[in-house]
Amino acid sequence: MNGLLVLDKPSDWTSHDVVGRVRRILGTRKVGHAGTLDPMATGVLVLGVGRATRLLGYISGADKTYTATIRLGQSTTTDDAQGELTGHASPEAMAEVQMSSVEEGMALLTGTIMQVPSSVSAIKVDGKRAYARVRSGEEVVLAPRKVDVTEFTLIDHQFDDLWLDLHVRVTCSSGTYIRALARDLGNELGLGGHLTALRRTRLGPWDEFEALPPEHLAAGSIPQESLLSMEAAVARIFPVWVVSESQAVMVRNGRRIDWTYAESADPVIAVCDNDGNFLALAEQHGPTAKYLAVFV
């Protein structure tokens, strides 16, 4: 059993919870996921089954799109609604908020930016997850990292005397924290801010409309046709190089072949035989193909 599952993760499930349930449903331990979603978040979670787990590192690095609700006027320990309230803006400050200033603040957080991840992220610090260190009472300050936010768009908003809720859409590179965007926007405006809702609507080529509904997880049933074959999966992610049968034999044995593929500038290419069988991931290494992974 090898392939990809695109699931719609339910709220209050960790990504690891989803992996565990799929392992039990499919009867295999070899299941992993690409791109962790927080328990509060819903939406597109891509899982690899069997040999397809080796593709997950390439998938998790793809860009992503989210819809989210940012609450301005309140800060929390975790930069989202699951943390404890640490501060709030005065009613007078909230009454003075102008939407033009909000959109200017969003524009400052669009493009290539340096972002400090939330201290309760899954980033490892000396081999231990940052959130685990925070829970054990340690103070964690993570280093800023460069991320790309290609879209930070206001969809709608609602005012309250004590806060302002922004409904936004964000398209960003891997490693971007939407919680951190909420925090930084609130800080930029002098109001504080945190995330109250998050949904991933797209990961790489897969969007929410092709994701398996979350009821299947609860019911313990995954339709066989939901498992995307290795061949169909790589065709969505990589350019495909169809090699001759003699070359395919060499690829299967891990022997390098001459690099004759010139149809794409993408660094990683999926190598398939004449029958469409996926053989390997390769990159150009001088005049030959270097295999990143052989799948047969």
pLDDT value, residue 149? 98
pLDDT value, residue 202? 98
pLDDT value, residue 270? 96
For this structure, is 38 an active site residue?
Answer: yes
pLDDT value, residue 199? 98
Question: Dihedral sign, CA of 38, 42, 43, 47?
Answer: positive
Q: Which residues contact 46 (CB under 8 A, 6 or more apart)?
A: 4, 5, 6, 7, 33, 34, 35, 56, 59, 203, 204, 206
Domain 3-62+205-231 matches domain 64-203 at the CATH topology level? yes
- Fold (topology level) of 64-203: Pseudouridine synthase (3.30.2350)
DSSP letters of the chain? --EEEEEEEPTT--HHHHHHHHHHHHT-S-EEEES---TT-EEEEEEEEGGGGGGHHHHHTS-EEEEEEEEETEEETTSBTTS-EEEE--HHHHHT--HHHHHHHHHHTSEEEEE---TTSS-EETTEEHHHHHHTT----PPPEEEEEEEEEEEEEEE-SS-EEEEEEEEE-TT--HHHHHHHHHHHTTS-EEEEEEEEEEETTEEGGGSBPTHHHHHT---GGGSB-HHHHHHHHS-EEEPPHHHHHHHHTT---B----S---S-EEEE-TT--EEEEEEEETTEEEEEEE--
Nearest to 200 by CA among 50, 33, 75: 33
- Fold (topology level) of 3-62+205-231: Pseudouridine synthase (3.30.2350)
Superfamily of chain region 238-294: PUA domain (2.30.130.10)
Residue pLDDT tens, the chain, 296 long: 899 999 999 999 999 999 999 999 999 999 999 989 989 999 999 999 999 999 999 999 999 999 999 999 999 988 999 888 999 999 999 999 999 999 999 999 999 999 998 877 777 777 777 777 777 677 777 889 999 999 999 999 999 889 999 999 999 999 999 999 999 999 999 999 999 999 999 999 999 999 999 999 989 999 989 999 999 999 999 999 999 999 999 999 999 999 999 888 889 999 999 999 999 999 999 999 999 999 98
Nearest to 51 by CA among 100, 1, 93, 12: 1
Residue pLDDT, tens place only, 176-233? 999 999 999 999 999 999 999 999 999 999 999 999 999 999 899 999 899 999 999 9
User: How many CB atoms are located within 10 Å of the residue 268 CB?
Assistant: 16
In angstroms, how far apart are the furthest CA atoms of the chain? 75
Report how far apart the first and last C-alpha atoms of the chain are (Å, whole number): 14
Joined tokens for residue 254: 């891990």
pLDDT value, residue 131? 72
In the set 8, 38, 79, 80, the catalytic residue is 38
Residue spans per domain, the chain: 3-62+205-231, 64-203, 238-294
